[in-house]
Structure formats: C-alpha cells, structure tokens
C-alpha cells in the first residue's frame, strides 16, 4: 500500500527541575543527555515506526538516572519505588499502561507488551505479576541520590518530573509514550497522570506527552483536550496554550510536548524549566 512520505520528527521531555537557575552543572548534564537521546531516537525512527521509536526513546530516558523514571525514580512515603508508564498508538487509537509497578527496569516495555493484550492497563500487584510472567526480570531502580533525598525529605521542586516522547514517522503515523517515578514521598497507591489518557494521548491528528503535577494534569484533561482541539481544526500551538490557560484558575502545574500530523511541533509549560529536546533534522535543546 502506498504511503505519504513525511519528514520524521521526534520531541522528548525530562520533566521539570529548578536547579537550572542555580546549578549549571546539572543543567549541562541534562542538556547533554537529552541531546544524545533525541539523536539516538531520531536515528532509530529512520527505520522504525513511531510506536517502536517512542518506546525505544523512553527506555533511554528511563535508563538515565538524571531523570525521574525507571532508574532514578523517586521514593514514596513508605520507602518503596513505584513507577507508572503508558503508550498510545495514534493510528490504531490503542492505549496501554502500568500503574505503580515495582522492581522493573523499563516500565514502558511492560506497557508495550500490554498493547497487544485484551486488558491493556494494569496496576500494582497485577502489573507486577504480568511483568514476571512475561520475562521481565527483577530490577531495583533505586540510586543513592534518591535514598538521600528521601531521607532528607527534600522540597517539592526536586520531586517534579516525568519523561516522555512523541514521534512522527515516515508513514505519517504518530505515537506517544510517557513514564514517571512519581513525585516522591506520596501516599502509596497514588495514581499520576502518566499512565492515563490525561497525560499521554495521541490520534491520527496530534500526539501529546505531559509532565508536571499529575493531579493538575488529570483535572485539566490536558493531553486529550489538546488533541481534540487539533482534530477539530485548531493549530497545535493555539490548542496547547488554550488548554494550559484553563489550568490558571487552580494554578495548575503542567508542561507539554507535542507533534501534529502536519509536522508542527510545540512545547510549553505553565511554570519555567521544563527540560526538552527536539529533532526534526536539526537538534534543538532547552536552554
């Protein structure tokens, strides 16, 4: 079947961080990591679908302990790490995810496996058992820095963070994937936006991945609102800004990356210092 060849694009985010104002070493490290990962993701996109690419790229982000997903995830109030991730295929409109899964290296890979299953979103023990039954080995994602932060109960600014990727492949298909290690010190069982459509949504017209305060993103239904508005004819930038403006009455904290089917890309946040990178033939990094 013939297909329309599209310029490949990929955009990623690594959540928020306040250190960029004062810690240039941290900022530079995150810029370099995002630059490398978005390059690898774009190279992978040359020979893979958008779905395969967002999974691959989010795995790279999960494996980088500079970010709060996979290795380096935050520790909850009971001293345990629980992670969430989701994946959505814009062509088939299928969504899958895991919520509060423990002792897994790459939660996004478990979400990928669930995309082919009848039951596509699993949480807690059910997600854990599914992962083990499907060959995902035990892995401790804790790093010494996170244990130190947990013990000192650091401020909220350290805890905000998620990783995500949206990709547009040569077939014109879109996909989005998002993964998080939580906000840190939360009540066990808390559900963030990252494994829900509120924080990760895509169709044939646009794809969105969010970061920020999960409760605010869910309250604002951020990702599906933006995608719906683009589907109804609004351009990506206007759809994003209109949706983020609707968070103002409750001072909602959110950041967004997105790509539309016509190749438009956009990133925005309600508070400064979302970290992101874009590759559309040339690389652009947050500064």
Catalytic positions, please?
162
Do 223 and 200 touch, CB atoms closer than 8 A? yes
On whether the CB atoms of residues 106 and 54 are closer than 8 A, the answer is no
CA–CA distance, 257 with 140 (Å, rounded to integer): 29
Helix/strand number for the chain, H first, E second: 9, 12
| Strand pairing report for 94-101 and 121-123 | parallel
Q: How far apart are CA 258 and CA 13, in angstroms?
A: 10
- SS3 per-residue string spanning 189-241: CCCCCCCCCCCEEECCCEEEEEEECHHHHHHHCHHHHHHHHHHCCCCHHHHHH
Location of structure tokens 């990133």: 267
């Amino acid at each position: 079947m013939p297909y329309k060849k599209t310029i490949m694009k990929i955009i990623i985010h690594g959540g928020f961080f306040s250190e960029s104002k004062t810690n240039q070493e941290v900022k530079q490290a995150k810029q370099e990591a995002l630059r490398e990962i978005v390059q690898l993701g774009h190279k992978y996109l040359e020979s893979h679908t958008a779905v395969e690419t967002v999974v691959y790229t989010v795995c790279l982000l999960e494996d980088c302990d500079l970010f709060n997903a996979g290795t380096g995830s935050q520790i909850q109030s009971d001293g345990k790490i629980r992670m969430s991730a989701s994946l959505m295929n814009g062509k088939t409109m299928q969504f899958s995810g895991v919520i509060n899964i423990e002792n897994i290296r790459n939660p996004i890979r478990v979400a990928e496996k669930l995309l082919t299953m009848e039951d596509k979103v699993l949480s807690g023990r059910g997600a854990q058992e599914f992962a083990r039954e499907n060959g995902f080995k035990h892995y401790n994602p804790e790093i010494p820095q996170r244990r130190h932060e947990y013990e000192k109960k650091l401020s909220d600014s350290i805890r905000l963070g998620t990783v995500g990727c949206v990709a547009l492949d040569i077939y014109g298909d879109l996909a989005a994937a998002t993964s998080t290690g939580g906000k840190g010190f939360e009540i066990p069982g808390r559900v963030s936006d990252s494994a829900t459509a509120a924080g990760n949504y895509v169709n044939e017209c646009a794809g969105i991945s969010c970061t920020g305060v999960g409760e605010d993103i869910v309250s604002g239904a951020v990702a599906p609102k933006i995608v719906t508005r683009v589907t109804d004819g609004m351009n990506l930038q206007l759809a994003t800004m209109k949706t983020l403006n609707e968070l103002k009455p409750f001072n909602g904290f959110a950041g967004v990356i997105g790509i539309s089917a016509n190749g438009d890309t956009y990133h925005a946040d309600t508070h400064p210092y979302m970290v992101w990178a874009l590759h559309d033939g040339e690389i652009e990094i947050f500064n």
